[in-house]
Amino acid sequence: MEFDPGFALRAREDSLGFEYGEGVFGPTPEFRSLDAIRPSLKDPNCDGPDPVYGIVMDVGEDVDRADLERRMMLFGAVAYAAGRLGTEPVRSQGHVHHVSPHCGWSTPELFEIWDGRAIIYMQESTSDDPGRCIAISAGRGEVVVVPPGWAHAVINADPGKCMVFGAWCDRQYGFVYDGVRAHHGLAHFPVLGERDELTWEANPRYSRSELHPRSARAYPELGVTRGVPIYRRYKNNPEALNWVSDPGRLAGLWKSFEP
């Protein structure tokens, strides 16, 4: 992993796990099996890498731990396997964040790509009408914000290598899968061609929707600009990312927010 995440955390080259440096806390990695995500895949019976990805939730520097708990902020890191899930790239199954008890919102998430190339797919709703559907392509050092209440999934856009990212989310995070699973996936499936070119196929279980591919951008309206790792941004100004766990303070912004 060539990108500096802003503290002493490194992805392992021999697994989908992570190593913690001095002064860094974090859990033993959890590994998501292929069977766990089959319900939302285009072909639930496909073959592919297993485990699909490794994840560590609640990592950071020891000196920040009490402050992060007070702010209800949580940092996580994820490593995706290379390869394919049938005709799809390696990806998560997709979910909506549950309503957090402490703030009363389905909270947003701030992603930062550390290695490889990712696509963050998101849609406004998991009802029959998915609303706006957006796929944001991001490379090393780029960030993506998923707004409150949106369903989303993370995709490894390069099947030839692993992909690694970090993310800020709410400490009382939880995932709601009901709507995604009821439709056997999100509203658009990513599909790889023979030369690994990526296209999109609409999920016929939703009403018709248009997919809007985009490149990653900075978010000056949220105080997130390029060039500073998102963990270090918290270190530099602990107040700057409080909107992640308390999105209600920006309630007016979210109404017209464009990811």
Q: With bands split at pLDDT 50, 70 and 90, how would you rate the model's confidence at 1? A: low
- What is the pLDDT of the chain when averaged over all its residues? 96
Q: Residue 20: beta bridge partners?
A: 9
pLDDT exceeds cutoff 80 at 62: yes
Mean of pLDDT values over 149-178: 97
Domains of the chain and any CATH numbers: 9-254 (2.60.120.10)
Mean of pLDDT values over 148-159: 98
Give the rounded percent of residues in the chain with a pLDDT score beyond 70: 100
The Cβ of residue 236 has, within 10 Å, a number of other Cβ atoms equal to: 11
pLDDT exceeds cutoff 80 at 2: no
Burial 126-150 (b: 16+ CB within 10 A, else e): beeebebbbbbbbbbbbbbbbbbbb
Which tens digits make up the pLDDT trace of 217-227?
Answer: 999 999 998 88
Which tens digits make up the pLDDT trace of 112-136?
Answer: 999 999 999 999 999 999 999 999 9
- CA distances to 115, 144, 258 from 64, rounded to whole Å, are 25, 24, 31
Mean of pLDDT values over 32-46: 96
How confident is the model at residue 75, as a pLDDT? 98
- DSSP-based three-state secondary structure for 25: strand
Predicted TM-score (pTM) of the model is 0.97
Q: With bands split at pLDDT 50, 70 and 90, how would you rate the model's confidence at 246? A: very high
Rounded CA gap, 133 and 195, in Å?
25
How confident is the model at residue 252, as a pLDDT? 95
How confident is the model at residue 225, as a pLDDT? 87
Least confident of 13-17, 29-33, 40-44, 92-96: 13-17
Q: With bands split at pLDDT 50, 70 and 90, how would you rate the model's confidence at 14? A: confident
pLDDT exceeds cutoff 90 at 95: yes
